Every structure is written in C-alpha cells, then in structure tokens.
C-alpha cells in the first residue's frame, strides 16, 4: 500500500506526540528548577544581611552565575517544535532580564539608583520564571499557525 505524502507511518504520530510531551516536560522541569534557584537567591540575600564573612558575601553572586546557564537552555527547549510561542517569548524575556540582572550590581558605584533596580528586577525574573513554568504545560501552536 502506498503512503500518502506527509501522512505519518503506523505509530509515528504517537512517538512524535510523546517526544513533544517530553520536551514540554523538560521545559517545565528546567523552569521550575530555575524558580527554585531564584528562591534560594532570595534566601542568600537575607543571609547576607544577617551573617558576615567572605563566603557569604560572594555566595549570592556565584550562585547566580551558576544557575544562570539555565536561561539559554530554556530558550532552546522552548524554541523546539514542541514549544508554544508564548513559552518562547517568556524564555527570551527571562534570558534578557537575567542578563540585565547580572549587570545591575556593577553600576553600584557609578549609578546607585540604577543598581537599586536589581531588587525589583529580581521580582520580575521570578514572576517570568513562574509564568514560563506554567506556560510550558500549554500544547504547541497548531501546525501552520504562525508563532506570535
């Protein structure tokens, strides 16, 4: 029997559906991991306020550089065919705001009011990460629908 062009072979659609589900689950897992890291970051800021020592003063910064690598991973996972346009937009926004987040403390001596936005931006980063984790459960855009 001849196959119609573009029609999946027996069992092919099920495996594609499973791989899409796995990719969406990966986006959700990495996004929730990122949310957890942000919560740890808030704890480390509080710890720095009440504890002293060289380790405490650099822990917040060093941990941010460590988990910051999750943001490009989130963009790549969200941009997969299994991702929705909303997840892609949220992942890109998260990447950009996280990059800004790492730069803001460097302005502490040059422009303290701008550096102070570090705390407000952290809240936006946390909110975006939560929204991305929630959006990753959304099914992908229908085939032929342009990504918005």
Tens digit of each residue's pLDDT (9 = 90 or more) over 88-129: 999 999 999 999 999 999 999 999 999 999 999 999 999 999
Q: CA 127: distance to chain centroid?
A: 11
SS3 136: coil
Domain-located, residue 8: no
- CA 90, CA 62: separation in Å to the nearest integer? 24
Q: How many CA atoms are closer than 13 Å to the CA of 107, on its beta-carbon side?
A: 13
Domain-located, residue 9: no
> pTM of this prediction?
0.80
Q: Give the pLDDT band of residue 52 (cuts 50, 70, 90).
A: confident
| Residue 42: predicted pLDDT | 94
Domain-located, residue 44: yes
For residue 19, give the H/E element and its range.
helix 12-50
The domain total for the chain is 1
**Which domain, by its residues, includes 42?**
15-135
Domain-located, residue 1: no
């Amino acid at each position: 029997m001849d196959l119609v062009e573009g029609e999946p072979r027996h069992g092919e659609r099920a495996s594609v559906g499973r791989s899409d589900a796995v990719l969406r689950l990966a986006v959700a897992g990495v996004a929730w991991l990122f949310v957890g890291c942000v919560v740890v970051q808030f704890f480390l800021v509080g710890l720095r306020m009440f504890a002293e020592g060289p380790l405490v003063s650099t822990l917040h910064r060093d941990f941010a550089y460590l988990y910051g690598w999750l943001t490009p991973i989130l963009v790549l996972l969200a941009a997969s065919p299994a991702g929705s346009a909303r997840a892609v937009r949220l992942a890109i926004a998260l990447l950009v705001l996280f990059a800004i987040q790492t730069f803001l403390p460097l302005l502490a001596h040059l422009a303290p009011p701008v550096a102070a936005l570090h705390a407000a931006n952290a809240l936006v980063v946390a909110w975006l990460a939560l929204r991305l984790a929630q959006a990753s459960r959304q099914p992908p855009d229908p085939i032929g629908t342009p990504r918005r």
